[in-house]
Structure 1
Amino acid sequence: MSDDDLSAHLCRLGLTPPEAATYLAMLHTGLTHSSGLAEHLGRPFAETARHLGRLGEIGLVSARGPDGDEAVPVDPAIALDHLSHARAAELQRAHASAVNAYRDYRRSVSPQATEDLVEVVTGPRIVDRILHVEGAADAQVLRFDSPPYHVPAGANPTELGNLRRGVEYRVVYSKSAVQNHAYYADNIQPCIAAGEHARVLPTVPVKLTVFDRRLAVVSMSFVEAEVNDSLLVVRPSSLLSALTGLFETAWRAAYPMHFGDRVPPSLRALHLRILELLGTGVTDDTIAQLLGISRRTLSRNLEQLNHQAGTSSRFQLALYAVRNGWI
């Protein structure tokens, strides 16, 4: 790393450019007197002494000599950690101040000035807005998933990345989303395997995603999209609370697409996939297509599942799976 790059990084952590230059010079000179360092930098002695005092307070240099007029650079790990935490705290305070200032502004304007509670996003800006908002999710994403899709209906690297860093996803899929062979293989299955909590309903009431319960995006349905390709961004309001409540109601009514902690290890991976899809309500033809097997192979595996559970029908198999904590 060049001195210019290191100086820029030190300044980002809170040092002034002269302080960063003083520290970098000491990395080259080692133990030095204040006067010698001032001469090396071409700066007044008093200015250099002031910068050394600041670096000493931070912990980047240590005073030496009987009169403390010599200084040497020290291991920066602890000092830079302290600067990093202090900088993060400053940014957090700045964030809180900006949010509070905006709230004060909102309280000061007329109650009728609510046009900023709902924003309409159209055209090519839609995809960028969705990716930006989802990438910034901090704790939880709630979603009704149904075609059509603004973002290409393939893999979702943003969700997979969020799941890896601990963001909770709860998704209610419409049956039409599950029936899409490519979407099921490229998007739904990988996300469930990565930790997404998924359920399914025959249809979902609206195309909706709620981020951290503080912002929602509402997309248009098939019919609406034909005449109005747009996205609604809903900010904190009674409307956002209502949309979140709608999701929770639908979530409780939906059927699970993933399994509990008591699934027997003897169940084959194919049997787990079959059970998962049986709960979605799709047809046998669709299940066979999604799994890439024939109807005859599907029937044979259903017989094996019933035999293992000691059941004789799909209804009994479903009851058995629920009662025994498979689902």
Structure 2
Amino acid sequence: MTDRDLVEYLGDLGVAPREAEAFQVLLQSGQRTVGQLGAYLGWDCEEAKKTVRHLMDLGLVTVGGSHRSTVSPAEPSIALDRLAHARSAEVQQAHLAALHAYREYRRCTGSQSTDELVEVVTGPQIVDRIWQFERAAESEVARFDSPPYHTDGGANPIEVDNLERGVKYRVVYSSSAVQNSAYYAVNIQPCIAAGEEARVLTAVPVKLTVFDRRLAIVSMSSVEAESNESLLLVRPSSLLTALLGLFETAWSSGYPMHLSAQVPPALRPLQRRILELLGTGVTDDTIAQLLGISRRTLSRHMEHLYLLAGAANRFQLALYAARKKWI
């Protein structure tokens, strides 16, 4: 790769030419003071300081020394991965914005067809489209979660990232999803810990995810079919409105899986997770399996919760937790 290739590559990732040139110089010559870097590039002191600040914000340089005036190039892989992810998200958002603008044009000209409101996706495109829409979510994701999974039932780091940047998630799980110990460990529990609002029902009516109340993806649950080979995309229409209404009805009927801020802080993390699972209706054996503990350990922690609530059984404990607004 030539120096020119590096500058162009950084430009593709959103790094301005001035910052890219300065980073290139640091990679070639090692650390320099801000003044030395500016003198080498023919910039005045303020230009050099401003450029270094931008590079620090991007994570491409570090500043040290007695007066924090020595600039060194940082190991770039993490920063470049972050920039690449941001650019990818921008491209996806631009793609969706262009499609939305075109459909609005078709609607205004009276040329929108039923085919544009509902689209069938099959084959390897399914997973790509799911991740595409998830990355582009801006404000809220509402989901019915039930096996089987197009994405193999693994972790969902995109949801965790979205939660960190303020996207709200509301998920209604089927009991079959919660009872899958591997799925609970790598997907459900980490997402709840990251801020997902979760509830559970014995079964969900359909596998559904709605992004920002303007696009829904629908597929078959394990109750409906053994195969999972197609996906429906539903755009703004009376059908999308009906799906949103269905979700809200199920959400209001579901049992919460996450605790409120009113839970006593003295409870251990494991006891908090036991409380989260008690409302799902799963058995003690399943709770022990999901948490990776023995029945004896579970019983010991349950006795502590009974004592705290003055309860004699799970039913009384659930009533106490509801009354105290722990859940």
Q: What SS is found at the alignment partner of 2:316?
A: helix
CA shift in 2, pair 1:225/1:132, >3 Å: farther
Q: What SS is found at the alignment partner of 1:245?
A: helix
Aligned to 1:132: 132
Task: Give the alignment's Cα RMSD to 1 decimal.
Answer: 3.4
**Separation in structure 1 between the aligned mates of residue 323 and residue 184 of structure 2, nearest angstrom:** 27
Which residues of 2 match residues 269-280 of structure 1 at below 5 A? Answer: 269-280=269-280
Could you state the TM-score of these two structures normalised by the residue count of structure 2? 0.71
Q: Gaps spanning 5+ residues in structure 2: where?
A: 22-38, 55-92
Aligned to 1:23: none
Q: What SS is found at the alignment partner of 2:163?
A: helix
How many residue pairs are counted as aligned between the two chains?
268
Q: Gaps spanning 5+ residues in structure 1: where?
A: 21-26, 32-71, 82-91
Counterpart amino acid of 1:114? T
CA shift in 2, pair 1:97/1:205, >3 Å: closer
Which residues of 2 match residues 50-69 of structure 1 at below 5 A? Answer: none
CA shift in 2, pair 1:224/1:73, >3 Å: same
Aligned to 1:75: 47
CA shift in 2, pair 1:323/1:115, >3 Å: same
Q: By how many angstroms is 1:94 displaced?
A: 11
Aligned to 2:105: 104
Of the structure 1 ranges 264-273 and 125-134, higher mean CA displacement relative to structure 2 is found in 264-273
CA shift in 2, pair 1:270/1:28, >3 Å: closer
Q: By how many angstroms is 1:116 displaced?
A: 0.9
**Separation in structure 2 between the aligned mates of residue 2 and residue 296 of structure 1, nearest angstrom:** 64
The 8 Å contact of residues 146 and 222 in structure 2, kept in 1 or not, is answered as: no
Aligned to 1:214: 214
Aligned to 1:65: none
Q: What SS is found at the alignment partner of 2:262?
A: coil
Could you state the TM-score of these two structures normalised by the residue count of structure 1? 0.71
Aligned to 1:203: 203
Q: By how many angstroms is 1:120 displaced?
A: 0.4
Percentage identity across aligned positions? 63
Aligned to 1:155: 155
Q: What SS is found at the alignment partner of 2:47?
A: coil
Q: By how many angstroms is 1:167 displaced?
A: 1.1
Counterpart amino acid of 1:134? E
Moved over 4 A (4+): 1-13, 27-31, 92-101
Aligned to 1:291: 291
Q: What SS is found at the alignment partner of 1:195?
A: coil
**Separation in structure 2 between the aligned mates of residue 94 and residue 137 of structure 1, nearest angstrom:** 13
Aligned to 1:247: 247
Q: By how many angstroms is 1:122 displaced?
A: 0.6
